[in-house]
Amino acid sequence: MNVSPLQQARYEYTPKLPGMLRHGISDICVSEGEATQSVADQEQIKALFPNTYGKKEITFQKGQNTSPAKKQVVGVILSGGQAPGGHNVVCGLYDALKATNPENVLYGFKGGPSGLIEDDYLVFDDAYIDQFRNTGGFDIIGSGRTKLETEEQFEIAAKVCAKHGITAIVIIGGDDSNTNAAVLAEYMAAHKTGVQVIGCPKTIDGDLKNDDIEASFGFDTATKTYSELIGNIERDCNSAKKYWHFIKVMGRSASHVALECALETQPNICLISEEVAEKKMSLSQIADQIADSVEKRAAKGMNFGVVIIPEGVVEFVPEFSALIAEINEMLAGSKAEEFNALPDWDAKYAFISKRLSEESMKVFAILPQSIQQQLFLDRDPHGNVQVSLIESEKLFSALVGDKLAARKAAGTYSGKYSALHHFFGYEGRCAFPSNFDADYCYSLGYNAFMLIQYGYTGYLSKVSNLSRPAEEWVAGGMPITKMMNMERRHGEDKPVIRKALVELDGAPFKYFEAHRDQWAEETCYTFPGAIQYFGPSSVCDLTTRTLALEKGMC
C-alpha cells in the first residue's frame, strides 16, 4: 500500500504516556479515593444503578501490581461520529493488553454497537493494528449510532460475550454512548455475567467535560483544523478586502468549538449560543450586533470581515425555538401528509400562515425563503425539524443584509456588503490527530485496560492534569454514574450524562468577552497555521486555548 511521507512518519510516532503508566504493567497499582454520587437526582440514579452507583474514584500510581492474573478477552466498540485519535485509543488498549499477557485477545466489533448485537467482529493482531497508529478516522473497525438500551439488546450482547469468552467491553463514544455504557455495565453486573464495561470520552464538540473530564478527545485536533482554515480565510479576507465570510462550525448544541476557534483566530464576530440564551436575544438583535460591526468597519474603509457561528445557535434563540415547536406540532401525525400534498410553495405558505401564532409568523416571515422551506423539508425520524441542518450562516448573512439595506435607506450606512458562506464540520473529524490527541487517546486506551485488569466496571477512563506535559498527566477512572442526571427524552425521564455547555463565567468566555469589542471594529486576525507534528514542544504539544485559560496557563 502506498503511503505519504507524513502518514509513514505518523505510524512511527511513539505516543507519550502519563508518568505513572510508564513504569511497566507490573509496577502500576491503584489508589482509591472517595465514594461518588451523581451530579443531580441522586436517589433516582442510585435506584436505577444499584450495582454500579456510588463507587470510588481511582488513580493509578507507581507500586506493586496487585491485580489477579487472568487471561483477558476484551471487545472494543467505536460509537457515534468520528473524532481524531480514536485509532490510538484502540492501539493503547491493545498494547496494554498484550504487555500484560501476550495470550490476551482484543476483538473489534464492526460498525459501532450494532457489531456487538450482530456478532460482526475482527480479532486484532500486530500487523493490523500497526496500519492505524496515530492516524485519523474510525476505519479501523468503523462506527455507528445504534443505541444499546433495551433488555433484548443486553441479552444478545451478554450471549455474544459468553460465546467468545469476552471479559470486558470498552465503548469509545460521547455522552449518549457512555450513558449506554453505564446502562450496559449495570445490566452485566446485575445478571452476574462477569463482563466489565469501560467507557472512553470522545467528541469533537467538547460537551463531554466536567471537573473530572478536562477534555474529550478529538476536540484539540478538530478545533486546530478549523482554526487553520478560518485563519486562511482571514488572510484572504484581509487581502481581497471585499467580502464578509460567515463560517458555521460543528459542535451540536454547545459553543465550545466556536469559542475555541475564536480564541485562536480573533474574528470580528463570534456568536456564543449560551449567551444568546442567557440574554434572550432575538434574531433581529443578533443581526443588529453583526451589522454594527459591518457598519463600524465600513466607516474605516474596511468592507470585509469574518463571523463564526456555532452549529446549534438557532436552538438558543427563544423566538426561534417557539417557532420550531409550533412547526413540529403543526405537522404532527397525518397533518404532514396533508401539507406535503399541497401543489406548490405558495399553497404551503398559506397553510403555514393560518396555523402559526402571530408571534411565530412574524419570525417566520423574516426568514429567507430557502430557510423557510428547509424547516419543512428536513425532518428527523420523530418528525421534528433537524435544527442542526439549518444553514444558519446563510440565515444571518441575509438578515444582516436586510439590516444594512434599511440603514442605507435611512442614510446611516454607505458601505459595501457582500457575503460568502462556509460550513466546517467533516473537515475536522478525521484529521491526523495532533500530538496532544495522539498522546491523550493512547493514554485513555492504555488506562482503560488497567481499569479492566483491576476489575472495575461502569467506569470512564480518565486522564487529567492535561494542561501540563504528558509526564505529569494523572491516570485513573471515575464511575460514569457520577456524571449523570435525569432528563426528559421522548416523553420519558431518562438517566443521561449531563452535557457541558460554555460557562459564561468561565475564563475562556471572559477572555473572549474582554476582547471582542476591539476585534469587532479592528482587524486583529491571528493565523494559527497547520497542526505541527515535529519541532519544539512549545509548538507541537500546544494545548487548546480553552484548556490553557481554564487552568490559568495564559
Query: Annotated active-site positions, please?
Result: 205
Instruction: Give the 3-state secondary structure of residue 209.
Output: coil
For residue 307, list its beta bridge partners.
Answer: 246, 269
Residues 437, 221 contacting (CB under 8 angstroms) = yes
User: Looking at 110-177, which runs of residues are DSSP E strands?
Assistant: 121-123, 168-173
Residues 221, 203 contacting (CB under 8 angstroms) = no
Distance CA 236, CA 248 (A): 17
Residues 330, 322 contacting (CB under 8 angstroms) = no
* Three-state SS letters, 369-429: HHHHHHHHHCECCCCCECHHHCCHHHHHHHHHHHHHHHHHHCCCCCCCCCEEEEEECHHHH
b/e code 356-366 from CB counts within 10 Å (16+ = b): beeebeebbee
Distance CA 195, CA 192 (A): 8
Q: Under 8 Å CB-to-CB from 223, ≥6 apart: which residues?
A: 204, 206, 257, 260, 261, 264, 428, 544
Instruction: Give the 3-state secondary structure of residue 180.
Output: helix
Residues 132, 140 contacting (CB under 8 angstroms) = yes
Question: Could you count the other beta carbons within 10 Å of the beta carbon of residue 168?
Answer: 26
Question: Could you count the other beta carbons within 10 Å of the beta carbon of residue 162?
Answer: 12
